[in-house]
Amino acid sequence: MQYLFEDGSLRQTHLKGVKRVVIKVGTRLLMDVPGEAPEERVQKLIAEIAELRKSGLEVVLVSSGAIGAALRVLKTTRRPKRMALLQAYAALGQCHLMTLYEEACNPYGFHCAQLLLTAADLHDRERNLKVTQCLEELLAQEILPIINENDSVCTDEIKVGDNDTLAALASSLCRADLTILLTTIDGLRERNPETGELGRRISVVNQIGAEVIAQAQGTDGNRFSVGGMITKLRAASITTSCGEYLWIADGFDFGVIRRIFAYEDIGTLFMPMHKERMHARQRFIAFFSEPEGELIIDAGAEEALLHKGKSLLPSGVIGMKGLFSAGATVRITNISRKELARGTVNFGTADLSKICGAGTAQLENLLGHKPAATEVVHRNALVITTFF
């Protein structure tokens, strides 16, 4: 069964050991709650985070709200569509948003720090490591990291796209035990495939497959929103494939954070896909590096990769696409061109073209020298990506 309607004490059993948590809060929850000013909303959120910190938890916050804050400051209700104006709004709103956060943190005796990221920061290995190191140092100094996408400089080419995905990527970077997406609904709900009507709340998702994806809804058209349930499932697929937990919950009342850590059966909890947590190299390959090419493999190699935990050998490669050097990240696809995995190659395009389909005993003769490795992609440098 891909999902359950009752918790059955899974939350309490699995989440007792949580030490580090990433919390994502959307713009609507900060800027668009009737009867509450943004200042009040931020203060209430930080009060809950302060309680978590007091209990010994390390907290990273992923916060939307910069453009929403600018709408408030400029006293307009229409989100602009023109890119340059959106970027200007983001630059203006970010100042106001961080002022609200710092003022809210001060009474509790700690500071917050801003990290504005682009996809380019995460895709580059060196910059990715610097972001990770910065996060670790902020947590060590007991400063609250607040992450947002750098919308004032982002273009489509360097955009993560939504803060649900950004939260999952941040969680992967800092190896958070739990990621919490606070949203405007009380979790994933079963959907009638014929009418589209939503039914019972799904309590626990064990596996993100076609059955679960079919329940997802798109953006609700709210002026502050850019995502929807599908982005939350994408975030969950990233987090759970790392061997970690993700929880979606209704955040109109920030007291829900206390209820989460009391293990109440609220929202939807996504269980890890694997018992072992993915190591740092695999995380970078799976979620951050940009593939430079593609390897097409036969059915035997597909079976070996997906079900036997094997490395990819030259004998299983029947085609390739793109130009790449040894050490590059490539997509690994089957004969139907469905992506199965990603990994870093031990051979560049020129050498690989000579040994595709060959047995390992033939490599030295075909290449004219003894290769440093006999695997095209070693298992330790490969990540299965059929999770979504």
Average pLDDT over residues 53-77: 89
Give the range among 5-9, 83-87, 125-129, 259-263 with minimum mean pLDDT: 83-87
Q: How far is CA 16 from the centre of its chain?
A: 22
Q: Kindly report, residue by residue over 180-222, the tens digit of the pLDDT.
A: 999 988 899 988 877 778 889 999 999 888 888 877 754 344 4
Residue 161 has pLDDT above 60, yes or no: yes
pLDDT of residue 222: 42
Could you tell me which residues come within 8 angstroms of residue 135 by beta carbon, excluding any fewer than 6 positions away?
60, 115, 145, 170, 173, 174
Q: Is the CATH number 3.40.1160.10 carried by domain 3-282?
A: yes
pLDDT of residue 154: 60
- DSSP tag of 255: T
- Of the pLDDT bands very low, low, confident and very high (cuts 50, 70, 90), residue 70 is confident
DSSP percent split of the chain into helix, strand, coil, nearest 5: 40, 20, 40
Provide the token pair at 374. 């006999």
- Of the pLDDT bands very low, low, confident and very high (cuts 50, 70, 90), residue 159 is low
Percent pLDDT > 70 in the chain is: 95
Q: Which CATH number applies to 291-384?
A: 2.30.130.10
pLDDT of residue 227: 47
> Is the pTM above the cut of 0.85?
yes
Q: What residue spans in the chain does CATH classification 2.30.130.10 cover? A: 291-384
Q: Kindly report, residue by residue over 339-375, the tens digit of the pLDDT.
A: 999 999 999 999 999 999 999 999 999 999 999 999 9
- DSSP tag of 312: B
Residue 327 has pLDDT above 60, yes or no: yes
CB 23 within 8 A of CB 182: yes
Instruction: Report the distance separating Cα 32 and Cα 14, nearest Å.
Output: 34
Residue 226 has pLDDT above 70, yes or no: no
Q: What residue spans in the chain does CATH classification 3.40.1160.10 cover? A: 3-282
CB 293 within 8 A of CB 349: yes
Among residues 171, 172, 167, 197, the alpha carbon closest in space to that of 182 is found at 167
Instruction: Report the distance separating Cα 78 and Cα 73, nearest Å.
Output: 13
